[in-house]
């Protein structure tokens, strides 16, 4: 337990059985009336963002979120199997929990796995990853402008839009937040 005076960015609160991360907070002391804390909270599981106001000094329940660097091993049915790089324990995480991160996940790749009391909450990758284009239509001579794009399939099976001049077997940098092409990577 903590009070609203202890809130800071990144603190995870347990409200009505759900976990919420504090994104922003502001202590407000008006000239009249009691002080309060204005917060912006993000639901850990759904990503929904809400504004919530607490009275100053109010007791709030904090949740312990354990973030660990884990290595993705393989897919087992609908589960993704990760291994803790410290103690080699393996954890199965459902497809729903992994979410869109699966589009950019390669075997033996490291990812940040957040858990609460042993229950996986979410999987986080770095802001960008390097993946190989396995298929795209051949580039034509003269297609050097950035005017057009074409679909390209990555080694994970996910499809993104790339510039017309890009060819198969090229390594590209991809934004893991929205799947956008960030540039070509030279070996």
- CATH number of the domain at 2-60, out of 3.30.870.10, 2.30.30.30, 1.25.40.390, 3.60.70.12? 2.30.30.30
Q: How far apart are CA 11 and CA 82, in angstroms?
A: 25
Give pLDDT, residue 118. 83
List, for residues 88-138, the tens digit of each pLDDT value: 999 999 888 888 889 999 999 999 998 888 888 888 888 899 999 999 888
Q: What is the pLDDT of residue 140?
A: 65
CATH of 128-185, one of 2.40.50.140, 3.40.50.2300, 2.60.40.730, 2.40.30.10: 2.40.50.140
Q: What is the pLDDT of residue 70?
A: 94
DSSP state of 118: T
Q: Which helix (H) or strand (E) holds 83?
A: strand 79-84
Q: Is the pLDDT of residue 143 over 60?
A: no
CA distance between the termini of the chain? 51
State both tokens at 45: 């599981």
The tokens 């869109």 sit on which residue? Answer: 100
Q: Could you tell me the pLDDT band of residue 187, with boundaries at 50, 70 and 90?
A: low
Q: How do residues 69-79 score in pLDDT, each as one tens digit?
A: 999 999 999 99
């Amino acid at each position: 337990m903590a009070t609203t005076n202890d809130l800071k960015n990144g603190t995870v609160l347990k409200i009505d059985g759900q976990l919420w991360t504090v994104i922003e907070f502001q202590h407000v002391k008006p000239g009249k009336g009691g002080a309060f804390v204005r917060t912006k909270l993000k639901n850990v599981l759904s990503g929904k963002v809400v504004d919530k106001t607490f009275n100053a000094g109010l007791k709030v329940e904090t949740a312990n979120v354990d973030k660990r660097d884990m290595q993705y091993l393989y897919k087992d049915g609908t589960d993704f199997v990760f291994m803790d790089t410290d103690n080699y324990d393996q954890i199965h995480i459902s497809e729903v929990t992994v979410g869109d991160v699966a589009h950019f996940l390669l075997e033996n790749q490291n990812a940040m796995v957040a858990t609460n009391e042993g229950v996986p909450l979410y999987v986080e990758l770095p802001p960008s990853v390097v993946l190989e284009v396995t298929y795209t239509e051949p580039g034509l001579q003269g297609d050097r402008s950035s005017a057009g794009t074409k679909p390209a399939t990555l080694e994970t099976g996910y499809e993104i839009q790339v510039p017309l001049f890009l060819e198969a077997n090229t390594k590209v940098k991809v934004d893991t937040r929205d799947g956008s092409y960030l540039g070509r990577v030279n070996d």
